[in-house]
Amino acid sequence: MQDPLPEPCLFGYWRSSAAYRVRITLNLKRIAARHVSVRLQLGEQESDEHRARNPAGLVPVWRDPDGFTLAQSLAIIDYLDEIYPDPPLLPNDPRQKALCREIAYTIACDIHPIGNLRVLEKLTADYGAGAGARAAWNRHWIGIGFGAIEARLAAIAGRHAVGDQITLADICLVPQVYNARRAGLDLAPYPGIAAADAAAREQSAFAAAAPEAQPDAP
């Protein structure tokens, strides 16, 4: 355990989509926490201090006041949903709940890791990939994942990704759409995704969590 802190802390980075998911969750549940920036562009995630929080050297990391730490955004979100159950992030219906998880896992397990900073840096280091090639890489893999999600949303979406309530699916989808726009992906083939993203971002919890709204944003 780390030394106790007087308040919960989220260690993240303004442009990290994984940290973005957790910020949305904190806002939806009105959980007060101190936000500590880990500047990825300076390599602070590789420091001994940060690896003591998360041996994987990634963000986000959640720390409770008693020193308990937790990494991996979906694990953090599940934990917060259990100890702060209002509002719930998953529907009651088992099938709707499973569909939420399908969308969330497609993003967090299939799409996001392939475009993470350390993967892109490896592409550059080993294969000489420049900024254009890295963006094309991201567009390719996001497009494949979005194709699967779009097909699913055509059958299950309401005002939001799964029905008419904000769920874990929206919490994961909005940051991934942000990544897609950064990479220059044309969202026209994904109208369901674009609609769910727009509807979620109308909510203050999403707007306040947006990368450009963070104090460490340039």
Structure confidence by residue, pLDDT tens digits, 25-56: 999 999 999 999 998 888 889 898 889 898 99
- Please report whether residue 3 resides in a domain: no
Q: Which residues contact 98 (CB under 8 A, 6 or more apart)?
A: none
- Please report whether residue 1 resides in a domain: no
Verify that 112 and 191 share a domain, yes or no. yes
Per the structure block, which two tokens stand in for 132?
Answer: 């254009």
Which long-range contacts does 5-8 make (Cβ < 8 Å, 24+ apart)?
5/34, 5/63, 5/65, 5/67, 6/65, 7/32, 7/33, 7/34, 7/65, 8/32, 8/33, 8/34, 8/62, 8/63, 8/64, 8/65
- Please report whether residue 214 resides in a domain: no
CA–chain centroid gap for 192, Å, is: 19
| Average pLDDT of the segment spanning 116-144 | 96
pLDDT at position 40: 84
Out of 27, 55, 87, pick the residue that ends a domain: 87
Query: pTM here?
Result: 0.94
CATH number of 18's domain: 3.40.30.10
- Please report whether residue 180 resides in a domain: yes
Instruction: Give 86-107 pLDDT, tens digit per residue.
Output: 999 999 999 999 999 999 999 9
- Please report whether residue 2 resides in a domain: no
Verify that 29 and 124 share a domain, yes or no. no
Out of 52, 87, 122, pick the residue that ends a domain: 87
pLDDT at position 1: 40
Domain that holds residue 70: 9-87
Out of 34, 53, 87, pick the residue that ends a domain: 87
| Average pLDDT of the segment spanning 108-125 | 95
Instruction: Give 157-185 pLDDT, tens digit per residue.
Output: 999 999 999 999 999 999 999 999 999 99
- Please report whether residue 211 resides in a domain: no
Verify that 81 and 129 share a domain, yes or no. no
User: Nearest to residue 187, comparing CAs of 147, 137, 133, 131?
Assistant: 147
Cα gap 173→196, rounded to integer Å: 8
Quote the number of domains for the chain.
2
